[in-house]
Chain A
């Protein structure tokens, strides 16, 4: 890469819950920010610029909340930037923050994303206040039906992903859903919401925030010398495609394939299935796991479900996917993408705690948005040259 290397040196997140009634907007984001700063052994004074991401302002009824949150985020006298790329926004927030450092404009940048869904109602906002909102499940169910038919995947694949991610969530102190007795039977018995998607195959609606500190090579090397391993950002890409036209394939979207190709080429990844140790993929409905495994080249076309079926994507498998519990376990929408990127970073920092993938050296974080149109991905490594 021609750009100077940059790295993640701090990660923080809130405890995600359906209702964080104990905090204000500012309180919620600050909880994540101070954890990230503590992790980076920094204070707000060390931050040169702040990038804020969140999903539509209609979710909370606060327009351009970066204005209100400027002082809460300690951004007074600094650049305060607001990104919004639908569901992928958290990922794009991290990428734009990294771009601030890569361009040589700033040394240390804070990426923050949040959603406080309890203030409003997501279905309302997704339908722009009109009746008969499809909701995200209604929008994605046809894609999933198409995937199942073309891959010939058996129906228990969706249930398996749902169980796996909830078991992983039990190892993540910040996760929203903690379903101790999660089982295939329980998922199978849960109500059908958007056929073929059952209730327990769906993400929750969460309040939560995530923050990531990104700094330059000098800062990252200093952290490393201090015994705090950084996550080096090997590559990143954001790609978008139009909502609809005859022939557009939302199951294997060209934007996803291109986003993966960008990231792998720039990171020197030629065999993603083997070179990537773990992936945090944006999976709000269980079937999206095999869909993204395929679109992101972690499985051959039509074969993604087999990696679910044979346990490859379990924690302990050879390619753990969403060891944090993923979006299926915590979904503060605007922050969900940044959480994927942050969890990927924590894996290669060896900082994922109980859900650490042993020896993870290279990880990807991925987020997507709208009707499978916006894709943001980064690859992070425990070193700048993880492949020697």
Chain B
């Protein structure tokens, strides 16, 4: 059975709008829709440049709509979480009165049979508008614009930025080599894969040798020692961002396993504060107890599985000037 790991990349981006999109968004808060003159055309949505040539357009805004005519449409029977409406609707190219190019937006028509080319539609405004394209919730059949909820009025000052929340969930299969490494970690085994061609050993369930560009299967597996030496490290002062889990400076160490050429990179350390970490410290692997087991694994994450990190084992530090060079 393939195991999957789900991860969501989510970030609240903040877009700066510039003079043209900004003017459009500001007008939206006042329930006005602006186009821009481009030679003989009135472009909606307005652009800073001529879409055909890239020439800069003078800021000659033209108020259009708010009603318009459906030029083309399609029906969305099962809306996505990103769509403007949570029930079936039409996406339509709406030619707003006074515009020469159509705006794509939703039309809340109930059924596809209520949609037709040439039909008149008008905006359903959000009562509380912030200067985003979805200040128009959607268009509705007819010539009369409507407002949903209490109308809190225009922004009062120019809108210069907009929020854009991007959130995408991925469901990634765990490759066999990674899965086997994780499984082995449950039994507190640190698995390596020895390349049959060059003899290099790779830990962490990587499943391939980048030097020889070959896959390393279960027949390449070797058990690796649980004791090693810190060769190098990073002390990271965390910068705050959405999704950040750290608040205090944290250590990521590189551990060279005894009697091997294998580095365990970017390792978590335990009972080794940032001000005491240094090259040459001898360490032992620390494994999660059954109670600490999580789907996500221990402090190392990924296919390190139950390996929580490394703890000083009390042996005297190694003094070898070459250690620091062992990062990979």
* A contact residues vs B (CB 8 Å cutoff): 19-24, 26-27, 30, 44-45, 58, 60-61, 71-76, 116, 118-121, 123-125, 127-135, 137-139, 141-143, 145-146, 149-150, 191-195, 242-251
Contacts and interface: CB of A to CB of B under 8 A. Distances in A.
Given A58-B11, A137-B234, A146-B327, 15 more contacts: A24-B18, A27-B19, A73-B54, A76-B51, A121-B11, A121-B239, A129-B8, A129-B10, A132-B236, A134-B252, A134-B266, A195-B274, A244-B328, A245-B211, A249-B328
B265 A244 contact: yes
B291 interface: no
Given A20-B16, A24-B21, A245-B209, A131 B244 contact: yes
B49 interface: yes
Given A124-B243, A134-B236, A44 B54 contact: yes
4 shortest interchain CB distances as A-B pairs: A131-B245, A74-B54, A24-B18, A242-B210
Interface in B23-78: 47-56
A45 to B, nearest CB: 8
Given A61-B164, A124-B11, A247-B261, A23 B16 contact: yes
A192 B48 CA distance: 43
Contact of A142 (B14, B56, B166, B232): B232
Nearest to A120: B13
B239 A245 contact: no
B14 A246 contact: no
B233 interface: yes
Interface in B239-259: 239, 241-246, 250, 252, 254
Contacts of B10: 129
A60 B13 contact: yes
B2 interface: no
Contacts of B232: 142, 145-146
A251 B252 CA distance: 18
B234 A118 contact: no
A61 B16 contact: no
Nearest to B236: A138
Nearest to A249: B325
Nearest to B266: A134
Contacts of A45: 53
Contacts of A135: 236, 239
Contacts of B144: none
Interface band, chain B: 35 or more
A195 B278 CA distance: 11
A27 to B, nearest CB: 4
Given A23-B16, A135-B239, A246-B200, A71 B11 contact: no
Interface string B277-292: 0010000000000000
B1 interface: no
Contact of A76 (B15, B53, B202, B328): B53
B113 interface: no
A117 to B, nearest CB: 11
A201 B141 CA distance: 60
Contacts of A127: 243
A137 B16 CA distance: 27
A133 B324 contact: no
A100 to B, nearest CB: 19
Given A135-B239, A138-B236, A142-B234, A119 B53 contact: no
A129 B234 contact: no
Nearest to A20: B16
B21 A194 contact: no
23 contacts: A20-B16, A24-B20, A44-B54, A58-B9, A76-B54, A118-B16, A121-B11, A121-B239, A121-B242, A123-B241, A125-B11, A129-B243, A130-B7, A141-B235, A146-B325, A150-B321, A150-B325, A243-B328, A245-B200, A245-B210, A246-B201, A246-B261, A249-B328
Contact of B254 (A19, A142, A149, A243): A142
A10 to B, nearest CB: 16
Given A21-B160, A143-B327, A146-B325, A246 B263 contact: yes
Contact of B49 (A72, A134, A245): A72
Contacts of A60: 13
Contacts of B11: 58, 61, 120-121, 124-125, 129
Contact of A149 (B56, B236, B324): B324
A209 to B, nearest CB: 13
A250 B52 CA distance: 46
Contacts of B238: 132
A245 B241 CA distance: 31
B241 A124 contact: yes
Nearest to A63: B166
Contacts of B243: 124, 127, 129-131
B262 interface: yes
Interface in B54-112: 54-56
Q: Counting chain A CB atoms within 10 Å of each CB, which of B211, B235, B262 scores highest? A: B235
B18 A192 contact: no
B214 interface: no
A123 B252 CA distance: 16
B211 A242 contact: yes
A141 B202 CA distance: 23
B17 interface: yes
B237 interface: yes
B53 A44 contact: yes
Nearest to B10: A129
